[in-house]
C-alpha cells in the first residue's frame, strides 16, 4: 500500500530525463508477473512509460547498482531510494564506491514491501493478478475465478516488519513527507536465540543453514559486499561457487559473509529478501550489529557519510573477547 | 581393554614479537605444557584472519587460541586493539551459532611471561579436552 503513486514517480522520471538533468533512470521495471519486479536502467522516455513500475513489490535496493553503473555513464543517473536504501547509499559513499556527483537521488516514501513467498504461502501458486484494495491485496489466480484477499500487514518482508527508519538520510529531492527514525524491536529475535542453550542454537542454525544452495544471491545483492575480488570467487579457496559439501562449508560461508560486512551492514535486509531458500540471514547480520552496539556504543552504519566503522576503529579500553561471555553469563 | 582417550589438537596463533618469544621462554625455562598445542607464528595478532580460525577448525583443530602482545605493547602500535575488537565479534558469533565458547580464546602474553604462556596453554588444553572432539565445525574429509 504505497502512499505515493506510480504515476507521480513516472512523471518525475520522464521530466528529468527529457530536460536532460539525467541521462538514465535506474528504476523498477515490469517483470513477467506483477510481483516479479526487475531493476532496469531506462534510457528512453518510451521505455519508461511502457515498463516503469512502482508497487508493493519494489523491494530492490538500488544503491549497489550505482557502483557499477556510474562509471559507465556519461551524465547523471536518476535513482529512486526508499528510506532504508539511503543508508546503504551513504555507506557506499563513505567507502568511496561511487561518485556522488554522478547521481541524482530521489527519496521515495515506503510503507513496507511484500514478500512474494509469504504471499504465495497464503494463496498458493498461479497468481495472475494482484490489486491493492485498502488494507488488503486482492489476488486473482489463474485456476480460480474468485479473488482472495490477503491483509497487506501479513505478507510484509521480514525487514519491513521491524522497519528501522522511514527517514531518508540522503537525497537530492524528496517526494512525499519526511519520515522518522523508528524505535523498532529488530533485535528481539536475536535476543530470543541468545537465550537458548548452545545446543538449541546449534540445532536452529544447522536446520536453517543446511538449506543453503550457495547460489551467492545474498552476497550479490548485499550493498555492503562490493569487493571486486571476493574470497568466495577464489578458485584456490576450495569453496568457489559450489554447493556446500558438509556442515562446515555451510557455516563457514555464512559466518564469513556476515563477518565481512560487520560494522558496515546497514541492516537493509536484502540478503534475506533474495534468499531463495528463505534462510533468515539478516539475523546473523543483526547479531553483529547488536553486539557492536552493546560493546562499542550505538552505531548505525550509513546514518551519516564519513563515520568510522566500529571494526576498523578501537579504543584502549575495549572489552576483552573473553569478557564478552562473562558479561552475558552474569546477566543471565 | 585400552580406552582410546581423545587427544585434542590445539592451534595457537602467536605473534612474533611477544607471545612467540614467550613460548620460547617457557621452553628455555623447561616449563611443561601439552604437546597438543601447535604454534603458528604470525607477524602480529591482527594478522589472524577469521578465515584462519575457521580453517583451523576445519582441518581438525579442537580449539584455537590467539596470543599477542599486551594491549598497548603491540610492535605495530595498534594491531592488537584491532584483534581485540575483531575477535570479540567473531567469537560472539561462533557462540551464537552454537559452537562451544570454550574452544576459542584470546590471551595477551609478553616475551617475559614464559610461565603465563605455559599456564595458559595448560588451562586451555584442559578445558578443550573436557569438551571433547570438535564436532560442530568439523570437516570429515579433513580428518586423520
Ligand atoms: S606484534 Fe604482538 S600483537 Fe601486534
Who among A205, A256, A316 is closest to B98 (CB)?
A205
Nearest residue of chain B to residue A201 (CA atoms) = B98
CA geometry: angle at B92 spanning B38 and A259, to 5°? 85
Instruction: Count other Cβ atoms within 10 Å, centred on residue A81.
Output: 27
Structure letter (DSSP) for residue A181: B
| Separation of CA B16 and ligand 1 centre (Å) | 7
Cell of A332: 543471565
Residues in chain A, how many?
Answer: 332
The CA distances from residue A326 to A168, A332, B99, B104, B128, in Å, are 39, 10, 16, 14, 18
The pTM assigned to this predicted structure is 0.92
Give the pairing of strands A77-81 and B63-68. Answer: unpaired
Structure letter (DSSP) for residue A78: E
Q: pLDDT tens digit string along A235-271?
A: 887 777 778 888 888 899 999 999 999 999 999 999 9
| Separation of CA B51 and ligand 1 centre (Å) | 19
Cross-chain residue pair A204–B72, CB shorter than 8 Å? no
Instruction: Count other Cβ atoms within 10 Å, centred on residue B108.
Output: 25
Given ligand 1 and candidates B14, B15, B40, which is best to mutate, with the most ligand atoms within 8 Å of its CB?
Answer: B15
What is the C-alpha to C-alpha distance for residues B84 and A314, in angstroms, rounded to an integer? 9
Structure letter (DSSP) for residue A160: H
Report the CATH number of the B10-133 domain.
3.40.50
**Given its phi and psi angles, is residue B109 left (phi above 0), alpha (psi -120 to 50 degrees) or beta?**
beta
Cross-chain residue pair A292–B100, CB shorter than 8 Å? no
Cross-chain residue pair A321–B94, CB shorter than 8 Å? no
H or E stretch covering A94:
helix A83-94
What is the C-alpha to C-alpha distance for residues B14 and B66, in angstroms, rounded to an integer? 6
Cell of A278: 528463505
Using a CB-CB cut-off of 8 Å, the residues of chain A touching B139 are: 246, 248-249
Res. A279 pLDDT band, cuts 50 70 90: very high
Nearest residue of chain B to residue A245 (CA atoms) = B139
Q: pLDDT tens digit string along A147-187?
A: 888 998 899 998 899 899 999 999 999 998 888 888 888 99
B113: closest CA of chain A, how far (Å) = 19
B106: closest CA of chain A, how far (Å) = 7
Cross-chain residue pair B91–A324, CB shorter than 8 Å? yes
What is the C-alpha to C-alpha distance for residues A74 and A237, in angstroms, rounded to an integer? 38
Q: pLDDT tens digit string along A230-241?
A: 888 888 877 777
N-terminal to C-terminal alpha carbon distance within chain B: 23
Res. B3 pLDDT band, cuts 50 70 90: low
Amino acid at each position: 500500500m504505497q502512499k505515493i503513486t506510480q504515476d507521480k514517480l513516472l512523471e518525475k522520471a520522464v521530466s528529468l530525463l527529457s530536460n536532460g538533468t539525467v541521462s538514465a533512470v535506474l528504476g523498477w521495471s515490469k517483470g513477467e508477473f506483477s510481483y516479479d519486479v526487475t531493476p532496469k536502467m531506462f534510457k528512453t522516455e518510451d521505455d519508461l512509460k511502457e515498463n516503469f513500475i512502482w508497487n508493493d513489490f519494489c523491494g530492490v535496493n538500488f544503491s549497489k547498482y550505482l557502483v557499477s553503473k556510474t562509471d559507465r555513464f556519461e551524465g547523471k543517473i536518476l535513482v529512486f531510494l526508499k528510506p532504508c536504501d539511503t543508508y546503504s547509499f551513504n555507506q557506499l559513499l563513505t567507502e568511496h564506491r561511487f561518485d556522488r556527483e554522478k547521481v541524482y537521488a530521489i527519496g521515495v516514501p515506503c510503507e513496507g514491501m511484500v514478500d512474494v513467498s509469504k504471499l504465495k504461502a497464503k494463496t498458493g501458486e498461479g497468481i495472475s493478478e494482484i490489486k491493492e484494495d485498502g488494507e488488503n491485496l486482492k489476488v486473482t489466480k489463474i485456476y480460480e475465478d474468485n479473488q482472495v484477499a490477503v491483509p497487506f500487514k501479513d505478507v510484509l518482508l521480514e525487514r519491513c516488519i521491524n522497519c528501522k527508519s522511514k527517514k531518508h538520510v540522503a537525497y537530492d529531492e524528496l517526494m512525499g513527507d519526511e519520515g522518522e527514525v523508528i524505535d523498532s524491536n529488530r533485535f528481539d529475535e536475536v535476543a530470543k536465540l541468545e537465550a537458548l542453550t548452545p545446543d538449541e542454537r546449534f540445532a536452529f542454525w544447522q536446520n536453517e543453514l543446511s538449506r543453503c544452495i550457495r547460489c551467492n544471491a545474498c552476497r550479490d545483492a548485499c550493498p555492503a559486499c562490493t569487493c571486486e575480488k571476493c574470497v568466495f570467487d577464489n578458485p584456490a579457496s576450495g569453496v568457489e561457487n559450489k554447493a556446500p559439501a558438509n556442515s562446515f562449508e555451510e557455516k563457514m560461508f555464512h559466518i564469513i559473509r556476515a563477518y565481512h560486512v560487520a560494522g558496515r551492514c546497514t541492516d537493509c535486509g536484502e540478503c534475506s529478501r533474495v534468499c531463495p531458500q528463505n534462510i533468515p540471514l539478516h539475523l546473523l547480520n543483526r547479531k553483529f550489529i547488536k553486539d557492536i552496539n552493546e560493546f562499542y556504543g550505538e552505531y548505525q552504519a550509513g546514518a551519516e557519510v564519513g563515520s568510522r566503522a566500529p571494526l576498523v576503529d578501537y579504543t584502549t579500553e575495549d572489552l576483552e573477547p573473553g569478557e564478552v561471555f562473562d558479561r552475558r553469563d552474569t546477566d543471565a | 581393554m585400552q580406552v582410546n582417550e581423545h587427544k585434542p589438537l590445539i592451534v595457537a596463533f602467536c605473534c612474533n614479537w611477544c607471545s612467540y618469544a614467550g613460548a620460547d621462554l617457557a621452553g628455555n625455562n623447561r616449563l611443561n605444557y601439552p604437546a597438543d598445542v601447535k604454534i603458528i607464528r604470525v607477524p602480529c595478532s591482527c594478522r589472524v584472519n577469521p578465515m584462519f580460525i575457521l580453517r583451523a577448525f576445519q582441518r581438525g583443530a579442537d580449539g584455537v587460541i590467539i596470543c599477542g602482545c599486551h594491549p598497548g605493547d603491540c610492535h605495530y602500535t595498534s594491531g592488537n586493539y584491532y584483534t581485540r575488537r575483531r575477535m570479540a565479534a567473531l567469537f560472539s558469533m561462533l557462540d551464537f551459532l552454537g559452537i562451544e565458547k570454550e574452544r576459542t580464546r584470546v590471551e595477551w602474553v609478553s616475551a617475559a611471561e614464559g610461565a603465563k604462556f605455559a599456564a595458559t596453554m595448560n588451562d586451555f588444553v584442559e578445558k578443550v579436552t573436557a569438551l571433547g572432539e570438535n564436532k560442530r565445525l568439523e570437516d570429515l574429509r579433513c580428518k586423520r
